[in-house]
Amino acid sequence: GQNIDQPTEMTATEGAIVQINCTYQTSGFNGLFWYQQHAGEAPTFLSYNVLDGLEEKGRFSSFLSRSKGYSYLLLKELQMKDSASYLCAVRFYSPSGTYKYIFGTGTRLKVLA
Amino acid sequence: DGGITQSPKYLFRKEGQNVTLSCEQNLNHDAMYWYRQDPGQGLRLIYYSQIVNDFQKGDIAEGYSVSREKKESFPLTVTSAQKNPTAFYLCASRSRDRGYGYTFGSGTRLTVV
């Protein structure tokens, strides 16, 4: 079956670097997404990886290893506003001939002053 | 600016009552989705629509219904058959460009009273 795992909670200090891991087991893998979700709000798109390697976008970077079924989101120079949940999602090509998505439960990041 | 509008933000339902959640987008996206978010669980797909006048059941469609009469609109009805409707409901749309993830609405929090 399809499965995604990510840690439930993490804590880090303002100004530090934090890495949020995501492991997945899917067949028909077709891309991995990271979203940020502040409490009570909608998720917002952060990054997309479909090939192995690192994608960098300002303070945020995302890495993918398809052979290991592994991704991480790296947040640098942490700010208080980065306190949020971070959702990992995988798109896969289903046997029915359509693309489908599976979401992890999210990692709640708390940034401390 | 383009986006997705969900209304209402908060909704209270009595036992045995049907309620309809509104979702409107002006992004010109063909595909629209309804997800349900519960604490400690990943987003779960209720229904999705790839084009007007067509929609498909997701993983947890029982007790829900949708319509897609216009490209911009994808309302969700939570019927009395849904036994545990209290949740945060997210509407999303997606560009054809596979490098872009979902754009989510701000969500509707439904509570049964």
The 10s digit of each residue's pLDDT in A52-98 is 999 998 999 999 999 999 999 999 999 999 999 999 999 999 888 88
Instruction: Give the minimum alpha-carbon distance from A51 to chain B in angstroms, rounded to a whole number.
Output: 11
Report how far Cα B17 is from the mean position of its chain's Cα atoms.
18
**Residues of chain B contacting A, Cβ within 8 Å:** 35, 40-45, 88, 90, 98-107, 109
Structure tokens at A88: 């990992």
Rounded to an integer, the average pLDDT of B26-38 is 94
CA-nearest residue of chain A to B5?
A42
Interface of A with B in 44-73 (CB under 8 A): 44-45, 48, 50
The per-residue DSSP string of A2-24 comes to: -EEE--SEEEEETT--EEEEEEE
Per-residue pLDDT band at B39 (split at 50, 70, 90): confident
Q: Which of A45-49, A90-94, B93-97, B98-102 has the lowest mean pLDDT?
A: B98-102
Q: Do B105 and A91 touch (CB under 8 A)?
A: no
Angle B105-B1-B8 (CA atoms, 0-180°, nearest 5)?
30
Q: Do B42 and A33 touch (CB under 8 A)?
A: no
Rounded to an integer, the average pLDDT of B94-101 is 73
Residue A42 has pLDDT above 70, yes or no: yes
State residue A98's pLDDT score: 82
The answer to whether residue A92 neighbours chain B at the CB level (below 8 Å) is no
Residue B29 has pLDDT above 80, yes or no: yes
For residues A61 and A99, which has the higher predicted lDDT (pLDDT)?
Answer: A61
For residue B13, give Cα distances in angstroms to B3, B5, B9, B83.
Answer: 27, 21, 13, 12
The answer to whether residue A93 neighbours chain B at the CB level (below 8 Å) is no
The 10s digit of each residue's pLDDT in B62-88 is 999 999 999 999 999 999 888 899 999
State residue A36's pLDDT score: 97
Residue B98 has pLDDT above 80, yes or no: no
State residue B59's pLDDT score: 92
